[in-house]
Structure 1
């Protein structure tokens, strides 16, 4: 029995810091399009020093997602280490896509100081991250792998994908791939694209030997995929027949309410496709090395039954594993959470997309209330972000336009729900993604090229990780992010209830600008009133209303209540009269307030 004086630990918000591993420590600022490592530089595992990790932790971070760790295709000669060369005809960029994995049991050789000890260097980084209070997440890309997958590091008894496939048929349940019998793969052609920007290379001959051809990663069934297809990858077969029917056991009714232990028990005696077993072993291999969780690429292209099978096995090894999935179909959210046993999904097509429309002047913030209320049963599972490797930078001209205009978006994103918040390295200092890396184009920081990240490099300050080269505005922005994120980590209310107060204020508050949005968050021990101003031109002087039902729920009597603002340290008064609360405030363009009662 628990001692009555023993404190009960309440769950708190998580904050994920996504970092593109090969770019983080790169000090080179040349940024030549299609530049080599020698010309443009590359970051290493060892660049994540104790100091760097401590500063990330102090920013208000709980988990670090090292993007691009598994060994993927790269255009660089590592043959002296036994690694085969990769063909530019089926590699995107010079540095290669992290989502065309070549060897799941080892790591990208570019990231190691000593390539022969690349795995040991990553294991040391896992240990260093843990020592500095950070949990470690890496990618698993279950839907597709590199066309030339070839593991040099398979554990004993593990065979490569496709090693036992019957290539004479389009589909067999235990084949790892889908085939186009009798046809050879043809490299896609384009009038506007040349591998390596047209540079001569002995393997860039418009050919890649693959017979019979395999289906392409995005599902193309053509022997010659289109240049816009994921032609550098092949699709993995999970027992979905070409007609879309399932060739594996399905979960019985009621399993949406069962926990991972019951899901694990269900699969224990079931015969499942070979690809399921291969990916489960990959995940458990990394869990055994101390990885604390995974980000699953394009998870919705893989059946949720597989996720039940794999995620339950992971949770049996580490019940606290952090399992995040890229899913973009709202109709499937609950299947992947409740049946697939995902902890978190991207809240992209609802919250993210609407916030982008708001800041670009294409929508009002009011529908955020309906979005939040529609997902109330799963809101904790819908991870919020504004920047990641796939999306345009928040500060870019095609998104918010400036880092300051992005500030109300991150305040709302981090405080409107109990879900984790994710930021992308450089976001906290206003990185705008201006660089043309070659394959990767501006507004996104390239994931295909060797590039430097200017705003981040100024914070890195030659490896001192002290912000010594940041401009005053960049320093202020990082300080703002730190205050916000650390507040979210320690707030009980943000793990509690949400209620919008937008409707009453839009209808009844004089001079309430359409660019304002307001809501409350509360628990038994903490009450918050949040107001954000998406307008970048209008200062609003208003008497914000807190409706009667909130005042009643909070058991507030008539009178005055002091409020402490959590981002800037200012104070205000909540005045309760006739059962209604009011707060006099002046809110500037792009400003946000988090008032604590």
Structure 2
């Protein structure tokens, strides 16, 4: 990790798959990504950071089966081939783990096509106390997205399940995990799961998506290797747009302090934010933003 540079790919989009869920014809999207590995090497990357690759209803973040490759991307054989071809080129593989929530079609939730009155595992989800159509109970969702049902992280069975998923794919050759919406999951849940994963895979890189909060304290309490550096991301484009380098200097001072306890995952754009070329008012500042990314401490 000391010298890692990730090439970040959203597999469903890269493969041209339909992310609405209307067209789920099987394709071999992972094979298409594998054909670009030499490009990643020429780019200077040492790892491939993949967005969701597991079976989901639509866009990948509404997972329905964490043990199955999404048919729009291929199957286990395509995954094994991608890992083997990446490793031959010295590229590591980082998977995207969506463990704060699942899709409504996940078998733990969907007793019937519409969610049902009594999910098979009601202790896996968090009832809101309200009722929906037909008087069916409602369950907590991720930030108001009805298709993303929040898991009950206080249930030890959920921790066991997530541990099993993470270990399974590390056993198959993955090198680490980006933990989606890690900020929404209780820190003590990660503190239960991650040591168990590390016992089987002590070299795995585990990074959490954290938007705000006390980054060093979150790393300490969860056992994560790193978190995403949203503070610096915002300061880079904002300071360039406003010609306010005091903001950038303040963020870099904070960033240097973070480096005393962990190495943040740094970026100037990702799949959750407006692309940098659209965010910056002047195209000439693209190069300036990249200079910051490529010269500060961190894992870009």
**TM-score range with shorter-chain normalisation?**
0.7 to 0.9
Are 2:139 and 1:214 equivalent residues in the alignment?
A: yes
Counterpart position of 1:233 = 148
Are 2:38 and 1:48 equivalent residues in the alignment?
A: no
CA distance in 1, matches of 2:23, 2:105: 23
Counterpart position of 1:276 = 159
| 1:489-538 deviations in Å (ceiling 9; x for gaps) | xxxxxxxxxxxxxxxxxxxxxxxxxxxxxxxxxxxxxxxxxxxxxxxxxx
Are 2:53 and 1:69 equivalent residues in the alignment?
A: yes
Q: Secondary structure at the match of 1:339?
A: helix
Counterpart position of 1:390 = 272
Are 2:8 and 1:18 equivalent residues in the alignment?
A: yes
Counterpart position of 2:112 = none
Give the paired residue count: 287
User: Structure 1 289/106 Cα, relative in aligned 2: closer, same or farther at 3 Å?
Assistant: same
What's the CA shift for 1:352?
Answer: 0.9
CA distance in 2, matches of 1:182, 1:35: 28
Q: Secondary structure at the match of 2:131?
A: coil
| 1:218-274 deviations in Å (ceiling 9; x for gaps) | 2xxxxxxxxxx21111111112xxxxxxxxxxxxxxxxxxxxxxxxxxxxxxxx722
Indicate which of 216, 223, 228 corresponds to 1:346: 228
Q: Secondary structure at the match of 2:9?
A: strand
Question: TM-score, normalization: structure 2?
Answer: 0.86
Structure whose residues are more often helix by fraction: 2
User: Structure 1 412/211 Cα, relative in aligned 2: closer, same or farther at 3 Å?
Assistant: same
What's the CA shift for 1:180?
Answer: 4.3
User: Structure 1 35/346 Cα, relative in aligned 2: closer, same or farther at 3 Å?
Assistant: closer
Question: TM-score, normalization: structure 1?
Answer: 0.45
RMSD of Structure 2 on Structure 1 (CA): 2.8
Counterpart position of 1:143 = 100
| 1:382-410 deviations in Å (ceiling 9; x for gaps) | 211112111111112x33553x4211101
CA distance in 1, matches of 2:71, 2:28: 11
Q: RCO greater where, 1 or 2, for CA within 8 Å and sep 6 or more?
A: 1
The residue correspondences of 1:61-460 to structure 2 (distance < 5 A) are 61-73=45-57, 96-112=58-74, 118-150=75-107, 163-165=120-122, 175-180=123-128, 183-184=131-132, 186=133, 211-218=136-143, 229-239=144-154, 273-331=156-214, 333-348=215-230, 350-361=231-242, 363-379=243-259, 380-396=262-278, 398-402=279-283, 404-417=284-297, 419-421=298-300
Listed as ranges, the gaps of 5+ residues in structure 2 are: 109-118
Q: Secondary structure at the match of 1:109?
A: coil
CA distance in 1, matches of 2:247, 2:83: 41
CA distance in 2, matches of 1:140, 1:12: 22
CA distance in 2, matches of 1:49, 1:279: 27
The residue correspondences of 1:471-510 to structure 2 (distance < 5 A) are none
CA distance in 2, matches of 1:143, 1:182: 21
| 1:31-55 deviations in Å (ceiling 9; x for gaps) | 9x989769xx9771111345x2122
CA distance in 1, matches of 2:268, 2:179: 18
| 1:438-494 deviations in Å (ceiling 9; x for gaps) | xxxxxxxxxxxxxxxxxxxxxxxxxxxxxxxxxxxxxxxxxxxxxxxxxxxxxxxxx
What's the CA shift for 1:61?
Answer: 0.7
CA distance in 2, matches of 1:47, 1:376: 39
Confirm or deny: 8 A CA contact 2:6 2:46 kept in the other structure. Answer: yes
CA distance in 2, matches of 1:104, 1:70: 5
What's the CA shift for 1:106?
Answer: 0.6
Runs of 4+ in structure 1 over 2 Å off: 22-26, 33-38, 162-165, 180-184, 209-213, 366-381, 398-402
What's the CA shift for 1:213?
Answer: 2.3
CA distance in 2, matches of 1:310, 1:294: 13
User: Structure 1 367/34 Cα, relative in aligned 2: closer, same or farther at 3 Å?
Assistant: closer
Q: Secondary structure at the match of 2:276?
A: coil
> Which one has the largest radius of gyration?
1
CA distance in 1, matches of 2:239, 2:216: 27
Listed as ranges, the gaps of 5+ residues in structure 1 are: 1-10, 74-95, 113-117, 152-161, 166-174, 187-208, 219-228, 240-271, 422-597
